[in-house]
Amino acid sequence: MILPKHIITKANLVTETLHESQFQPCGVDMTLKSAHKFTTAGKIDFDNKERKISDVNEILFVNDEIHLLPGGYKVIFNEYVKIPNDAAAFCFPRSSLLRCGATLECAVWDPGYEGRSEALLIITNPQGVTFKKNAKIGQLVFVKLAEATKQLYEGIYKGENK
C-alpha cells in the first residue's frame, strides 16, 4: 500500500520541506539542494571492506541556477527523511525532469534510514539542463510493509548530510 499525503504529514516522515505544496497525494516532491561533479573513481565490492566512494566537487549556483551538461552528477536533497520500521520508500524522477532530457536514479530507502539523502542525476539532453536552486526533481513515495521489520537500516549513510 502506498502511504497517502495525510499519513506522511501526520507521521512527520519528511521534514525541512520548503513549502507545503511539496506534499502530493501519494508522495513528497524532493528538491535540489546541491549538485556535485565526480572527481575520482569509486570502488564497489561484496562486503564493503574495499568500498571507496567517489570524491566530488560541489557545483556552485550562479544567480540561483546551475547549467549541467550531459553526464552524471551526485545531488543532495533539501529534505530530511526518516523511514519508519513499517515502511520503505522509492524516489522517482518528476515528469518535467524526464521531459527535459534528464532522469534521477535512487536506491531503495530502507526502514530505519534517516538523513538528507543523495541521488544520481543523469543528463542526456545534448544541450544540458538548467536548474534553479531548490528545483523539484524527484518524488518520494512511501510503501507500507506487510509487517514491521525486525531489523532496521544501520549502514554508514544513516544520518547523512545533516
Dihedral-angle region of residue 43 (phi above 0 means left; psi in -120 to 50 means alpha; beta otherwise): beta
Q: Chain-wide mean pLDDT for the chain?
A: 97
pLDDT number for residue 108: 97
- Judge whether 114 and 81 are in contact, CB under 8 Å: yes
- Judge whether 32 and 135 are in contact, CB under 8 Å: yes
Whole domain around residue 140: which residue ranges? Answer: 5-38+58-144
Our CA dihedral for 38, 44, 48, 54, rounded to 10 degrees, sits at -10
pLDDT in tens, 40-91: 999 999 999 999 999 999 999 999 999 999 999 999 999 999 999 999 999 9
- Is 91 within a domain? yes
- Is 149 within a domain? no
pLDDT number for residue 162: 87
Query: What is the number of domains present in the chain?
Result: 1
- Is 63 within a domain? yes
**Which CATH number fits the domain that encloses residue 73?**
2.70.40.10
* Mean pLDDT value of segment 125-136: 98
* Mean pLDDT value of segment 84-99: 98
